[in-house]
């Protein structure tokens, strides 16, 4: 059994200060995809991951304290690809891929459009470019697991108040349509494959006691190539892991 986790840690140094390494030891994932690391490896002691038995690969943003992705893996990948080869995205540290013998795992941090029109336009452009990039990539890497913070709720079930958020970035009709169309290119939302129930979220605002009230959004996903569906064994979230405003999303497969 291979256990893969995606986790937007909202700052790896902040998460470590909240005993994140104890969570890592207890959950014991084989592969961890991180988003919003908000640090370069030189800014903290990465030896803790060596001691826990992980190879670790970091792709921070050029801007200090912003964005950035990483992959931790107990097995050393055959190859690690840093970025997408598109400068405006790679400067923000949004994509890293690890290739193993029979599959590839991506950690992706998709842009948020919540700060205004300029970033929303950037996000919409990203969605088109990401689709094109993955369509090309999957010709070479046919078994893909795309883990990360997508900053989109796909369905009304994925957000606590779909009516009042109908015009909010992250739940806009064009974003949700993109998600449906992207899945239709050959990917499965692993969490929904096992969990049809409502009120299951992966992010909560720090405002208005939202987490305690479970007023959340499900914006973190482990998407799996349809040709890997037969390998799916379980998928779940860990809302009680509180190192971040997000929580971990776990995927278990026979790989």
Of 157, 175, 222, give the one whose Cα is nearest residue 8.
Answer: 222
Q: How far apart are CA 41 and CA 158, in angstroms?
A: 34
H helices, E strands: number in the chain? 7, 14
Query: Catalytic residue among 26, 50, 129, 149, which?
Result: 149
60's CB contacts (< 8 A; 6+ apart) are 37, 38, 39, 40, 41, 67, 68, 93
DSSP state of 109: E
Q: Please, which residues bridge with residue 246 across strands? A: 203
To the query of whether residue 26 is one of the catalytic residues in this protein, the response is: no
Positions marked active-site: 149
């Amino acid at each position: 059994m291979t256990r893969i986790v995606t986790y937007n840690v909202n700052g790896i140094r902040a998460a470590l200060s909240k005993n994140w390494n104890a969570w890592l030891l207890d959950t014991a994932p084989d592969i961890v995809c991180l988003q919003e690391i908000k640090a370069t490896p030189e800014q903290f002691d990465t030896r803790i991951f060596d001691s826990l038995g992980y190879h670790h690969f970091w792709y921070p943003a050029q801007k200090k304290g912003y964005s950035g992705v990483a992959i931790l893996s107990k097995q050393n990948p055959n190859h690690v690809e840093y970025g997408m080869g598109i400068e405006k995205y790679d400067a923000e540290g949004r994509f890293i891929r690890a290739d193993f013998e029979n599959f590839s795992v991506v950690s992706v941090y998709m842009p948020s459009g919540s700060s205004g029109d300029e970033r929303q336009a950037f996000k919409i452009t990203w969605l088109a470019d990401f689709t094109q990039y993955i369509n090309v990539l999957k010709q070479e890497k046919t078994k893909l697991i795309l883990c990360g913070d997508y900053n989109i709720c796909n369905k009304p079930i994925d957000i606590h108040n779909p009516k009042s958020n109908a015009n909010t970035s992250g739940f806009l009709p064009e974003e949700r349509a993109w998600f449906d169309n992207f899945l239709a290119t050959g990917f499965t939302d692993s969490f929904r494959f096992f969990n049809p129930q409502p009120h299951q979220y992966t992010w909560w605002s720090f405002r208005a006691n939202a987490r305690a009230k479970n007023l959340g959004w499900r914006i973190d996903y482990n998407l799996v190539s349809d040709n890997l569906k037969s390998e799916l064994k379980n998928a779940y979230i860990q809302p009680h892991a509180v190192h971040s405003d997000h929580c971990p999303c776990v995927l278990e497969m026979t790989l």
